């Protein structure tokens, strides 16, 4: 992986992590087309960790208030933290027990294309659905589990984590702002846990391969900075509009991916 390839992957991760277009899917496609070879899924997970900084900058105050409230055993804080714990369980279980299957999915353009198509179809199905501008500030325990199951599906490349979890939360009658906040806070422990798990594995194996340090560092920086810009834009966008617009983009990317597969572009990587 060259320096510019590292920066490219970082920008792709930061620009697509919070939009309903799937950063994993874009990383898989860019990696195949640009010929970027990374050790397993560590780089992808690490770039996700970089975007956690963006979430903490935007929701750092809320996260700190929640942590203090839990420490002081405030009922509202304990309930919200409990809902987050319920929501993170499905993705945690899938990540632990299906780790190798997920890694194989990252090596397949077919898997990314199917993920783009599935989430695009989901957004298509909600294009005419009337959802209230007002609603609940948080889900029920059952609702948190449903949102968590949606997040687990996003471990498949091409399935947008933010898109599918926010859509699920909106279907449960949460407000747009509350749905986005719960979705972003829900991602913190899952991505951080995956980063620690994969990081420990890389350290155990002797660190990154030669020549990866500089591209990895600048890719990390690019992901964090671009992610910060996009999350502010998305929050402003959600106050006025739904995700319906992104449906067309996802379906177009799915068509492109399947075309690449059908025409045999870089067959050794498919």
3-class secondary structure per residue, the chain: CCHHHHHHHHHHHHHHCCCCCCHHHHHHHHHHHHCCCCCCCHHHHHHHHHHHHHHHHHHHHHHHHHHHHHHCCCHHHHHHHHHHHHHHHHHHHHHHHCHHHHHHHCCCHHHHHHHHHHHHHHHHHCCCCCCCCCCECCCCHHHHHHHHHHHHHCCCCCCCHHHHHHHHHHHCCECHHHHHHHHHHHHHHHHHHHHHHHHHHHHHCCCCCCCCHHHHHHHHHHHHHHHHHHHHHHHHHHCCCCCHHHHHHHHHHHHHHHHHHHHCCCHHHC
Q: Looking at residues 12-24, what average pLDDT do you find?
A: 79
**Phi, psi angle pair for 38, to nearest 5°:** -120, 155
In this prediction, residue 23 carries a pLDDT of 76
> Using one digit for the tens of pLDDT, what is the confidence trace for 31-56?
666 666 555 555 666 677 777 788 88
Angle at the Cα of 232 (from 230 to 237), degrees rounded to 5? 90
In this prediction, residue 270 carries a pLDDT of 37
**β-bridge mates for residue 136, sequence order:** 174
Q: What's the full length of the chain, in residues?
A: 270
pLDDT score of 238 more than 60: yes
In this prediction, residue 204 carries a pLDDT of 65
**CA-to-CA separations, 219 to 3, 26, 41, 202, 238, in angstroms, rounded:** 8, 15, 14, 17, 28
Q: Is 266 left (phi over 0), alpha (psi -120 to 50) or beta?
A: left
Q: Looking at residues 130-145, what average pLDDT do you find?
A: 77
pLDDT score of 267 more than 60: no
Q: Which two tokens stand for residue 202?
A: 């890389």
Calculate the average pLDDT of the chain. 78
Most confident of the following: 66-80, 96-110, 215-229:
66-80
Confidence of residue 182 (pLDDT cuts 50, 70, 90): very high
pLDDT score of 244 more than 90: no
In this prediction, residue 76 carries a pLDDT of 93
**β-bridge mates for residue 174, sequence order:** 136
In this prediction, residue 85 carries a pLDDT of 94
Q: Looking at residues 5-16, what average pLDDT do you find?
A: 83
Contact between 191 and 52 (Cβ < 8 Å) = yes
pLDDT score of 216 more than 60: yes
Domain total of the chain: 1
Nearest to 36 by CA among 12, 60, 63: 12
**CA-to-CA separations, 51 to 23, 43, 120, 226, in angstroms, rounded:** 11, 13, 23, 8
Q: Is 207 exposed, middle or buried (0-12, 13-18, 19+ CB in 10 A)?
A: exposed
- Which of the pair, 77 or 189, is modelled with greater confidence? 77
Q: Looking at residues 235-241, what average pLDDT do you find?
A: 79
- The domain in which residue 208 lies consists of 3-269
Predicted TM-score (pTM) of this structure: 0.77
């Amino acid at each position: 992986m060259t320096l510019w390839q590292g920066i490219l992957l970082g920008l792709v991760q930061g620009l697509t992590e919070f939009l309903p277009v799937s950063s994993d899917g874009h990383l898989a496609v860019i990696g195949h087309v640009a010929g970027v070879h990374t050790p397993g899924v560590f780089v992808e997970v690490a770039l996700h960790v970089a975007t956690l900084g963006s979430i903490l900058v935007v929701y750092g105050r809320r996260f700190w208030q929640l942590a203090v409230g839990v420490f002081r055993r405030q009922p509202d804080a304990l309930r919200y933290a409990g809902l987050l714990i319920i929501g993170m369980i499905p993705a945690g279980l899938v990540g632990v027990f299906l780790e190798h299957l997920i890694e194989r999915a990252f090596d397949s353009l077919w898997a990314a294309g199917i993920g783009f198509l599935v989430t695009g179809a989901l957004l298509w199905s909600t294009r005419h659905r009337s959802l209230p501008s007002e609603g609940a500030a948080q889900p029920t325990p059952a609702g948190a589990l449903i949102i968590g199951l949606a997040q687990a599906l996003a471990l498949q490349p091409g399935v947008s984590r933010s898109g599918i979890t926010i859509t699920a939360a909106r279907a449960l009658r949460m407000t747009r702002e509350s749905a986005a906040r719960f979705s972003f806070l829900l991602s913190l422990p899952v991505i951080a846990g995956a980063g620690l798990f994969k990081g420990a594995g890389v350290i155990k194996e002797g660190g990154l391969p030669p020549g990866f340090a500089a591209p990895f560092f600048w890719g990390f920086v690019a992901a964090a900075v671009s992610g910060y810009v996009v999350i502010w834009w998305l929050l402003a966008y959600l106050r006025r509009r739904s995700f319906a617009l992104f449906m067309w983009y996802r379906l177009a990317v799915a068509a492109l991916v399947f075309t690449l597969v059908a025409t045999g572009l870089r067959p050794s990587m498919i």
